[in-house]
Structure 1
Amino acid sequence: MGTDIYGHIEARHPCADEDWYDWDAWAVSMPLHPLYDGRDHESFGCLFGVRNRLGWAPVAAGRGLPADASEPVRTEYEDCVRIDAAIHGCTWVSWAELRDLDMSVHSAARGVIDVHSGLGSSISRHRVDDQWPDDVVKEYGVPPLGASPVEAPMGCWEVSGATLEYRPMTRLDALGPGTGWDHVFEVMRALALRFGAEGVRLVVWFD
């Protein structure tokens, strides 16, 4: 069963700390959707520790709703919680944190096997540690790369009309070009030119 993400990009006004400033410090700049409308669990785990099946050290897990969240974000989140008991994982991350991410960091898993079916767009992903995944071996046999993934090279092979790829998983794979997160990051980067890296953040929650 999939997990969905909801949220907004917020920006903090540069004059929010001035005595004359009478408005909310933080304001909604843009909802996460349609910049990102996927449900990729690897990115959720990598950034927020949600559905973290590959054992990432998450960037910003479990922080909750910011105490100074903008009123629209607070209202939407509280409404979601009120009508949906499955809402969980509320947290936030600043552009300063995202900007400075080391995108070469690997997940705790040794790697993943991506199975591309003959249908073209159908892909399933399997975590690889010190043994080949049982479900992969059962359906496709032991990978021709070797009896154990411990010393096996990364590579691709074909079985029964499916293409299998054993590869590492880095933050760049989870968050880089083509994932949808690149669009989110570009908007936050642009907003930071006006509001500063610490003055732009993404607030999210899941169901």
Structure 2
Amino acid sequence: MGTDIYGYIEARHPRADEDWYDGDVWAVSMPLYPLYDGRDYESFGCLFGVRNRLGWTPVAAGRGLPVDASESVRTDYEDCVRIDAAIHSCAWVSWAELRDLDMTVRPAARGVLDVHSGPGSSISRYRVDDQWPENVVEEYGIPPLGASPVEAPKGSWEVSGATLEYGPVTRLDALGPGTGWEHVFGVMQALALRFGPGGVRLVVWFD
């Protein structure tokens, strides 16, 4: 079964630390959907350690629900947990953390190999370490990039109607333009102009 992500962007009231303030400290600004409606495991692993098949050092894994989560977020999360036993990996990350990410960071994997077997077919992605994936070699032969991926350059080629592409992956590939996360980050960045970088966060969970 696939893994889906759910969550909300929250903002912290700029006067929450003042003695007279008695309102909610955090409030929902926007749900994650429809800003992000994908199921990209590279980003899930990169940010939260979920489906981390490439061996990222996650940005914000296993943090749980914030103790000061807004009432609406807490209620939705607890309802989801009560209804669906598969809910897992609740976490949160601030805009200050996302803003300062080094987007050149790479996972433990040497690279990824994408196989597009033909028109209308989905792309199969393989983790590549020090050897080419055995089943890919069996079906398509040794890549023209070399017998070993250790010294292999980035490249693409075609075999028997299939297109294969190999290359390293960085955080920019997982989270940058075209991934859908740029919309989430854009909203968080705009909210930070009002609430500050540490006053905007994303709270998520998975099933």
Range class of TM-score, shorter chain: over 0.9
Structure 1 SS opposite 2:103? coil
Answering whether residue 4 of structure 2 is matched by residue 4 of structure 1, we say: yes
Alpha-carbon distance in structure 2 between the residues aligned to 1:138 and 1:206: 35
Change (3 A) 1:135 1:90: same
Alpha-carbon distance in structure 2 between the residues aligned to 1:53 and 1:104: 18
Alpha-carbon distance in structure 1 between the residues aligned to 2:83 and 2:17: 35
Q: Which runs of 5+ in 2 are unaligned?
A: none
Q: Structure 1, residues 3-33: CA drift from partner, whole Å, max 9, x if none?
A: 0000000000000111121111000000000
* Residue correspondence of structure 1 range 1-207 to structure 2 within 5 A: 1-119=1-119, 122-207=122-207
Alpha-carbon distance in structure 2 between the residues aligned to 1:23 and 1:51: 38
Mean CA deviation greater in 29-38 or 129-138: 129-138
Q: Which runs of 5+ in 1 are unaligned?
A: none
Structure 1 SS opposite 2:150? coil
Q: Structure 1, residues 97-126: CA drift from partner, whole Å, max 9, x if none?
A: 000000010111000001123215621110
How far 1:152 moved relative to its partner?
A: 1.6
Name the amino acid aligned to 1:71: E
How far 1:88 moved relative to its partner?
A: 0.3
Aligned length: 207
Name the amino acid aligned to 1:15: R
TM-score normalized by the length of structure 1: 0.98
Alpha-carbon distance in structure 1 between the residues aligned to 2:120 and 2:93: 35
Structure 2 SS opposite 1:150? helix
Q: Structure 1, residues 158-191: CA drift from partner, whole Å, max 9, x if none?
A: 0111110110010000000000000000000000
Alpha-carbon distance in structure 2 between the residues aligned to 1:163 and 1:172: 23
Show structure 1 runs of 4+ deviating over 3 A. none
Alpha-carbon distance in structure 1 between the residues aligned to 2:115 and 2:171: 20
Alpha-carbon distance in structure 2 between the residues aligned to 1:23 and 1:190: 23
Name the amino acid aligned to 1:126: Y
Structure 1 SS opposite 2:151? coil
Alpha-carbon distance in structure 2 between the residues aligned to 1:120 and 1:169: 25
Alpha-carbon distance in structure 1 between the residues aligned to 2:63 and 2:206: 13
Q: CA RMSD in A?
A: 0.9
Alpha-carbon distance in structure 1 between the residues aligned to 2:139 and 2:22: 63
